[in-house]
Amino acid sequence: MIRAFIHASKVLTGEGILLKEGRMLKPEDVSAIDDGAVVFDEKKILWVGPTRELPKKYQRAKTTDLRKKRAIIPGLIDSHTHLVFAGSRAAEFARRAAGESYQKIAGEGGGILTTVRATRSASVQDLFQSALKRALIAYRFGVRTIECKSGYGLDHATELKCLEVVKHLRQALPQMTFVSTYLGAHAVPEGVKKSTYIDEIIHRTLPEVKRKGLAEFCDVFIDEGYYTIQEGERILRAAKKLGFKLKIHADELGNTQSTRLAAKLQAHSADHLLCVSDQSIRSLAKADTVATLLPGTALYLKVPYAPARKILDAGARVAIATDFNPGSCYSLNLPLMMNLSAMQMGMNLAEIFAGVTYSAACALGLEQSKGAILPGFDSDFIVLPYAEFEELYYRMGW
Ligand code: NIG
Ligand code: FE
């Protein structure tokens, strides 16, 4: 059935952002149409423009009049989350709040490994139920596409179990798009030699994940105390050979030059970048690799934000995501991350908008169908309960 929303206060199409491929954006690149209309069917957007120019052939479509009280934007994209895990790290949070560092707690066998213990003993059904609740919370924040990483299994069977959960989420919530990432190299499992685990990732898990179609992306946490740049490169090259798209948790806790590796391997994204070097920024600016910034993590870890202005002014594309996870950012609130991007990282309107639409779509390889309101794109947009898009992140943490 063909439907139309008419008299939207504004329709933010994102066309200007698309034309510039997400680089060097000015606020007006959001391409806002005043008193706009969107015509669409179950699958695709058919037409967008000012309501007064609505083509005759669509005037008999089933129409909703928004009376200039509501704005329309593309469905938001959270391009980096660790949605599937069991257990709670509330006790560790209390220790961090009292001053202990994330690294100290991890070094004592806590951190990611705490969540791994809980996740290994959870059933698929329990993991699914908790992930489903979280996905619905993200949905209420306007998120329509969400990336989900494994990485709390750290063994063949549990990593597969977590990726299976994403498959179940897809069936349970067809109104959302789930992108699945295998992050077996998230930490080194307890009691296993690192080289043995890397061999398992490369020779056993990656091929099986591929065969079963359980993930489109492969990610590695390259950082001090986790995986080295050489280990990361080995895993990612093996993944690429099998046809995975790549991501890297890069330069988060220290500077490992992993952002540069992401550009070199033509990864879809390099994520975190809290400690990124100028040299890495230059290589990123020349590449298609998206810089995915996660300001909630800097806030939650009490460390300086990523140098967003430097990265943007160098000409790189930037996505903004929650990094939702039980340790370093326990928040699903993407609009809050947009607020931090504006107030703490100095990003402008179009940069923030692109960060949760077009550039986030690029980070997931979905830029042909998601992140813009233009003919041919998916009918994947949200009608905001207010007239101005800025309300979305002006309302801090609502
Ligand atoms: O993205 N950096 C690695 N992984 C997560 C933290 C995971 C955890 O603490 O459970 C992150 O920050
Ligand atoms: Fe992460």
Q: Is the pTM of this model over 0.85?
A: yes
3-state secondary structure of 301: helix
> Is the domain covering 76-363 a CATH 3.20.20.140 domain?
yes
Q: Which atom of ligand 1 is nearest to the CA of 152?
A: 10
One fold for 3-74+374-394 and 76-363: no
Closest ligand to the CA of 252: 1
pLDDT-based confidence at residue 319 (cuts at 50, 70, 90): very high
pLDDT-based confidence at residue 305 (cuts at 50, 70, 90): very high
Q: In this structure, what DSSP letter does residue 2 have?
A: -
Distance 249 CA to ligand 2 centre (A): 6
* Domain edges within the chain: 3-74+374-394, 76-363
Closest ligand to the CA of 86: 1
Would you say the CB of residue 357 lies under 6 angstroms from ligand 1?
A: no
**pLDDT for 59 beyond 90:** no
pLDDT in tens, 114-151: 999 999 999 999 999 999 999 999 999 999 999 999 99
What percent of the chain clears pLDDT 70, i.e. is strictly above it?
Answer: 100
- The CA dihedral of 24, 220, 327, 360, to the nearest 10 degrees, is 30
Per-residue buried b or exposed e for 351-364, using 16+ beta carbons within 10 Å of the residue's own CB: bbbbbbbbbbbbbb
Strand 62-65 to strand 3-12: parallel, antiparallel, or no bridges (unpaired)?
parallel
Would you say the CB of residue 231 lies under 6 angstroms from ligand 1?
A: no
Q: What distance in Å separates the CA atoms of residue 327 and residue 268, rounded to the nearest whole number? A: 24
pLDDT in tens, 362-379: 999 999 999 999 999 999
How many alpha carbons fall within 13 Å on the CB side of residue 158?
Answer: 21
Count other Cβ atoms within 10 Å, centred on residue 117: 13
E strand or H helix at 183: strand 177-185
CA-proximal residue: ligand 1, atom 11 (nearest): 328
Q: Which two tokens stand for residue 32?
A: 């806002």
Instruction: Give the helix, strand, coil percentages of the chain, each rounded to 5.
Output: 40, 20, 40
Would you say the CB of residue 327 lies under 6 angstroms from ligand 1?
A: yes
* CATH superfamily assigned to domain 3-74+374-394: Urease, subunit C, domain 1 (2.30.40.10)
pLDDT in tens, 7-56: 999 999 999 999 999 999 999 999 999 999 999 999 999 999 999 999 99
**pLDDT for 344 beyond 90:** yes
Q: What distance in Å separates the CA atoms of residue 315 and residue 286, rounded to the nearest whole number? A: 8
Would you say the CB of residue 111 lies under 6 angstroms from ligand 1?
A: yes
Q: Which of 292, 288, 373 is nearest to 329 (CA)?
A: 292
E strand or H helix at 32: strand 32-40
Would you say the CB of residue 326 lies under 6 angstroms from ligand 1?
A: yes
